[in-house]
Structure 1
Amino acid sequence: MLRKFSSLILIILFFTTNLFAQEKPEVQIGGALRFNYNLSSWKEGQKTRGGDFGYDVFRVNAKAKYKGVKLNAEYRLYSEGFGGGMLKQGWVGYDFSPENNLQIGLTQVPFGITQYNSHNWFFGINYYVGLEDDHDMGIKYTHNDENWMYAIAFFKNAEELRFGSASDVSDSRYSYDVSSSADGLYRNKEVNQVNLKVARKFASGNSKHMLGVSAQYGGLYNLDTEKTGDSYAIAAHYELNAGNFNLKVQATKYKMNPENPADQDSEGLAMTAYGAPYLVASEATTYTIGPAYSVPVEWGPISNLQFYNDFGYMNKANDMYEDSFMNTTGVLVTAGNVYTYVDLAQGKDHPWVGPAWTNGLAAGTPDAEWETRFNINIGYYF
């Protein structure tokens, strides 16, 4: 009996040891240092100086994996005027299989063309209303195989840094989220958002296509009334890769219904990122299109030139509001670990490409003119 019991113990120990054998932990550390030159048509002093060249961002990326559980985090240090330090993303994940993944934490919202619905350094117009490369706090499940990609997610809220009963949303964040306005009149925050994205992949010859739809619905909690409104966004999107050519096309409709105090209208609300909020129309439809073409070269360390043009149009539902436009023509120069974006960005009623900061994406400016920003961003990635 003792011999049989000992044999049973040895068998259990053998299988237990193999089942829970420790794999070697994997850790990768990377990052980037970027500098930026810009010359803006609406800044007289800057034009007199011939533009400004300065520090953009230093970032640290960390990836780790142990026993099938993964970590992915990116922390960025911008200048104080652009929000200072902020966590772009930070999640813990698990791969159930090569096609199925779960992420928990500050993770990218599965909406529209991801990772980016644009090619340039400025992103597209959707980014500035929180609908491109947005990251929120929640849980996301993704399936991605040869023919289908779909994702479902629940986000409790955007990045929460203050945790007070009625604390304003912090302006130090990478992606745009509903927030409080600079004058304190609009005070909302995102809560309990659900996302669903489905995309079909197919190929023809040397071309690869991805056609999809996205939807999100969530709450808007007002810090003054303590009531919860709602918001939704839907999008249809298409991406083509054919050799060195890439095309991104998307149409997006969104509407936000905050429960503001009775003396405030609901035609606009505040959003924030990079240290400063502005107002955004509460309902609009956006249209974006962005072709790009890559040209391999052998010019010393330069190995590739990607030429692109990203166009965005924001049609606001309020007929009294002026529509917003954004167009960026440029080239991405790849030289070893150095990536340089050379962009000519033009905008009309756009806060980052023109003087109308607070109301550019909300009421806008009657008879607004097109403004131009020439921008060069140089980054070493390691």
Structure 2
Amino acid sequence: MRHPLSRRTTLLLWPLLAAFALPASAVQVTDNLDLGGAIRARLDYDPDRDLSEFGFDTAFLTAAYTSDSWIGAAKYRFYGKHYPFDYTDEVGDISFAEYAWLGYRFDADHQVQAGLIPVPFGLQPYYGSTFFETLGSVIGMEDAQDIGIKYTQQSGAWNLQAAWFAMPAEQGHGTSRGGTTYGTGVASADAYVVDGSDNHEKDILVARLARSLELGSWTSEIGVSALTSTLENQDTGDDGHRHALALHYLGTHGPWGVQMLAARQEMTPENPGSDKLVTFGSFDGTFNVAAKGNLYVADLSYTLPGEYGWLSGVKLYANYSHFTKDVSGFEDSQRFIAGSSFTFGPLWIALEWLHGKHDPYIGGGSYTQSLGAGGSDRWENQLYSNIGYYF
């Protein structure tokens, strides 16, 4: 059945598409409230899979409110009809919120936020320069959002973020049983996931402490993050746990940038079957992740100064992420991305070469098992580009 909002969503996109002919700018509704959004296209090319697709990627709408004391932000995304969601009929058949929160600033250095909030774990907001993101994004660490409350305090060079999340993001509209969300999190497995589990994550406690400093000629940040939560299994009724710890470094020196992260994740689910796997989900799908493992990320970037006609903001980067798994026989997952992002006239573009092994999103291997026991036991390649008009 088609989503009843699909037709209205499609009609909404037509005036947004017309905006490509106009200068990019957010709409300032009042002195405090701005509305905006984007329309994006994507390119996927992999001759080994006879994959050559170019079309609509997503549209999203944003709102941001800022005053002396009150702050807030929201972002809602629409997908569907086009690859990789071409199994749906209309744009909007898959849709969900990325974030939606309200906050209060006690002063310039202290604030609290409540709602659907980004989880403050590791490098912020992403684990590198890539658009496609790292393996951290598919094991529930990078670019994750949950529902709860977060306190932020800036004390000189020190930044503290502490949060309690009652639950993960609510399911949006889509076809997946537990994966219709933006950020990846513990989920109820769809029927196609062999050895899938049905866990509900709750009472998520997260703390992140970071310090800015100068290391020689490098402007740097070092930090540590910790996460603990309860995994309530819906089949057995018993509670397991999830624990994660991360160390990170961020440094800039002129046009050069370096980001590094090392993280440990341990989950002890009370599944009726294997306790070596936990099902995660996002973007209308679910897949298994090894319950225990380490994540390593390294990112190097270089930003070209100046403008070159319509071309500006050119950034070159390379990113490597590696997820090692404790269980003997489970194959490590690896992802290497080399690419560039830049502004071309009114468009922002990312062009990336994806190179992955036992990666659910690169090469068409095992989507459901690559982050668990493993998938295609060879390096896979794909050319990927995302082209966006932001307003």
TM-score range, shorter chain: 0.7 to 0.9
Contact 1:120 1:328 in 2 (8 A): yes
1:61 and 2:62 aligned? yes
Cα distance in 2 for residues equivalent to 1:160 and 1:204: 42
1:285 and 2:294 aligned? yes
Among 234, 245, 270, which residue is 1:223 paired with? 234
Cα deviation, residue 297, structure 1: 3.7
What SS is found at the alignment partner of 1:296?
Answer: coil
Q: Residue 29 of structure 1 aligns with which residue?
A: 35
Cα deviation, residue 186, structure 1: 1.0
What SS is found at the alignment partner of 2:210?
Answer: strand
Amino acid at match of 2:65: A
Amino acid at match of 2:235: D
What SS is found at the alignment partner of 2:274?
Answer: coil
Contact 1:209 1:238 in 2 (8 A): yes
TM-score w.r.t. length of structure 2: 0.85
Amino acid at match of 1:372: N
TM-score w.r.t. length of structure 1: 0.87
Amino acid at match of 1:89: Y
Residue correspondence of structure 1 range 149-168 to structure 2 within 5 A: 149-161=159-171
Cα distance in 1 for residues equivalent to 2:43 and 2:308: 23
1:250 and 2:282 aligned? no
Contact 1:209 1:240 in 2 (8 A): yes
Among 292, 300, 316, which residue is 2:309 paired with? 300
Amino acid at match of 1:240: G
Q: Residue 184 of structure 2 aligns with which residue?
A: 176
Amino acid at match of 1:37: L
Question: RMSD between aligned alpha carbons?
Answer: 1.8
Contact 2:220 2:249 in 1 (8 A): yes
Cα deviation, residue 216, structure 1: 0.3
Cα deviation, residue 257, structure 1: 1.0
1:379 and 2:380 aligned? no
Cα deviation, residue 304, structure 1: 2.1
Cα deviation, residue 142, structure 1: 0.8
- In the superposition, relative to structure 1, how do residues 227 and 42 fare at CA in structure 2: closer, same or farther (>3 Å)? farther
Amino acid at match of 1:362: G
Cα distance in 2 for residues equivalent to 1:66 and 1:342: 37
Cα distance in 2 for residues equivalent to 1:74 and 1:337: 21
What SS is found at the alignment partner of 2:136?
Answer: helix
Q: Residue 269 of structure 1 aligns with which residue?
A: 278
Contact 2:265 2:292 in 1 (8 A): yes
Cα distance in 2 for residues equivalent to 1:242 and 1:319: 41
Q: Residue 10 of structure 1 aligns with which residue?
A: none
Amino acid at match of 1:335: F
Cα distance in 2 for residues equivalent to 1:334 and 1:285: 35
Contact 1:292 1:307 in 2 (8 A): yes
1:84 and 2:90 aligned? no
Cα deviation, residue 146, structure 1: 3.8
Deviations 1:231-269 (A, max 9, x none): 1000010000111111110001001111111xx111111
Which runs of 5 or more structure 2 residues have no equivalent in the other structure?
1-29, 86-92
What SS is found at the alignment partner of 1:375?
Answer: strand
1:105 and 2:115 aligned? yes
- In the superposition, relative to structure 1, how do residues 66 and 240 fare at CA in structure 2: closer, same or farther (>3 Å)? closer
Q: Residue 7 of structure 2 aligns with which residue?
A: none
Contact 2:131 2:350 in 1 (8 A): yes
Q: Residue 16 of structure 1 aligns with which residue?
A: none
What SS is found at the alignment partner of 2:42?
Answer: strand
Cα deviation, residue 207, structure 1: 2.5
Q: Residue 369 of structure 1 aligns with which residue?
A: 378
Q: Residue 195 of structure 1 aligns with which residue?
A: 206
Among 154, 176, 179, which residue is 1:144 paired with? 154
Contact 1:160 1:169 in 2 (8 A): no
Q: Residue 12 of structure 2 aligns with which residue?
A: none
The alignment covers a number of residue pairs equal to 346
Contact 2:178 2:190 in 1 (8 A): no
Deviations 1:204-225 (A, max 9, x none): 4652110110000000111111
What SS is found at the alignment partner of 2:304?
Answer: strand
Cα deviation, residue 324, structure 1: 0.6
Cα deviation, residue 228, structure 1: 1.4
- In the superposition, relative to structure 1, how do residues 35 and 220 fare at CA in structure 2: closer, same or farther (>3 Å)? same
1:38 and 2:39 aligned? no
Deviations 1:115-143 (A, max 9, x none): 11111111011011010011000000011
Which runs of 5 or more structure 1 residues have no equivalent in the other structure?
1-23, 163-167
